Amino acid sequence: MPDVIILLFNRDLRVTDHPALQQACQDARQVVPLFVIDPAIPPRGRAGFLIECLDDLRASLRERGADLVVRRGNVVAETMRIAAETGATAIYTSGDVSALARKREGRFRRENIEFRTFPGITIVPPAQLKPVTGDHYKVFTPYFRAWSEIRWRSIAETPDTIAMPEVRPGDIPRPRRRPHLPGGEREVRRRLDLWLRHCLRDYAAGHDDLAGDHTSRLSPYLRFGCVSPLELATRSGASEEFVRQLCWRDFYAQVALAFPGLPREDYRPGRREWRHDKEAEDAWREGMTGVPIVDAGMRQLAAEGWMHNRARMIVASFLTKTLGIDWRVGADHFEELLLDADVPNNYGNWQWVAGTGNDTRPNRVLNPVRQAKRFDKDGEYIRRYVPELANIPTTMLHEPWRAPSPILGYTAPIWRG
Ligand code: FAD
């Protein structure tokens, strides 16, 4: 039995259903729970949320007799330094899919230490399902079918106690700004219980209702791994519609693993030419396009660091299909502001909407007027986020050409009919 194993946290900031942590506790006499803040990867709008997640994780580890060791610097170099200091002979971590994460895993494998990755970031590990031809599923429906038919791993046990060698814990930095949402595993467990008890039953019928806000809003917690997606799927198993959404997350993870260029290159190349229009881009970012449903979505993003999925689809379709602006412009803005932004989901969904990704109908355009009439029938969502339209009658709210619009002259005729 090795004396010491390092458990390297990344975006799995929890102690429940954490296979790498469970295995480290079984395999070694002592475990060093470690998180390295890499200054080369700015957490953008997510810094405050991340810090609260780390505070909460430290508290959970302290309850179990250990601590969270925090260092700042290059992840591989700092981890190897801790290994030298504690005599650790192995590093365990949750396997991840982005190009950056894989490069880091490659570097660890070249070090003179045992390095093992474990499941936990997704429900089904991204390399586990393969189609008959090709190295990954390019289309969601057959993936969902295969995903629904296999057996999932069992939930990992949460360790009661964790023995740890003497190591200086290190400070967690203080946030400059409070996050839009409180971070951490304890917070998400409270939210999860409420969601399962009171809201899940409305999900299938209501998840597209913009004003109703019937989705779980758990995405930032899934992004940082404060909750295990497997636990979430297992506990909400009665709602196929909800579990299906979680499957989308697994789907994009296996796309990102197979196609590391996802954040920058067209997944299906040669589909489109993009326009440069600084004025239109700025109007879109600021929620000042004059198209009420688009502006409402963009302002929700700025105000909350989160946007309803239906609104994300509408604003992304508007930018790429209606304005003809490159999906990278939109995805990078989302990446900057969303609490839940991660490479597979953000760039995978953007490419899907732009028609360069996994959509089997790449030319579909979401007409924002029809979308608003259907998913914000009474204009409540628009009024909530665009206060200057609060007193406009609903019929007028849905008609963009009657509202003031800096870029209206360009956009209105496209869907007027
Ligand atoms: P719920 O409806 O409660 O769904 C539960 C969980 O399922 C979500 O938390 C999420 O983890 C997963 N999920 C739901 N829909 C999708 C989907 N289409 N793709 C992948 N996973 C999904 N989601 C992110 O987590 N990060 C992103 O950066 C992101 N960027 C997006 C960009 C665009 C242009 C679009 C159209 C969608 C994007 N999504 C992203 C997917 C989706 O909008 C969010 O996951 C969802 O709105 C989060 O809210 P929720 O937790 O209430 O979702």
Prediction pTM value: 0.96
Tokens read off for 347: 């760039």
Which ligand 1 atom is the nearest neighbour of the CA of 313? 36
Residue identifier of the C-alpha nearest atom 49 of ligand 1: 217
Asked if 29 and 3 touch (Cβ cutoff 8 Å), the reply is yes
Express each pLDDT in 238-271 by its tens digit.
789 999 999 999 999 999 999 999 999 999 997 6
Express each pLDDT in 98-122 by its tens digit.
999 999 999 999 999 999 999 999 9
Residues contacting 395, CB < 8 A, separation 6+: none
CA distance 206 to 88: 50
Task: Tell how far the Cα of 352 is from the centroid of ligand 1, in angstroms.
Answer: 13
Which ligand 1 atom is the nearest neighbour of the CA of 207? 2
H or E element, residue 69: strand 69-72
- Alpha helices by DSSP H, listed for 64-168, are 75-86, 99-109, 140-149
Q: What is the CATH number of domain 122-154+186-258?
A: 1.25.40.80
Express each pLDDT in 316-355 by its tens digit.
999 999 999 999 999 999 999 999 999 999 999 999 999 9
Domain assignments of the chain as residue spans, ordered by start: 4-120, 122-154+186-258, 278-416
CA distance 118 to 255: 19
CA distance 244 to 251: 10
Q: Is the CB of 34 under 6 A from ligand 1?
A: no
- CATH top-level class of 4-120: alpha beta
In our burial notation (b when 16+ CB lie closer than 10 A, e otherwise), range 110-129 reads eeeeebebbbbbbbbbbeeb
pLDDT value at residue 406: 54
Which ligand 1 atom is the nearest neighbour of the CA of 251? 20
Residue with tokens 């597979």: 344
6: closest CA among 109, 72, 85?
A: 85
H or E element, residue 8: strand 4-8
CA distance 258 to 265: 13
Q: Is the CB of 123 under 6 A from ligand 1?
A: no
CA distance 211 to 214: 8
Express each pLDDT in 387-406 by its tens digit.
998 888 888 888 765 444 55
At the topology level, CATH places domain 278-416 in DNA Cyclobutane Dipyrimidine Photolyase, subunit A; domain 3 (1.10.579)
pLDDT value at residue 44: 83
Express each pLDDT in 26-55 by its tens digit.
999 999 999 999 988 877 889 999 999 999
The DSSP code sequence of 148-200 is HHSPPPPPPPPPS----------PPPPPSS--SS--SHHHHHHHHHHIIIIIG
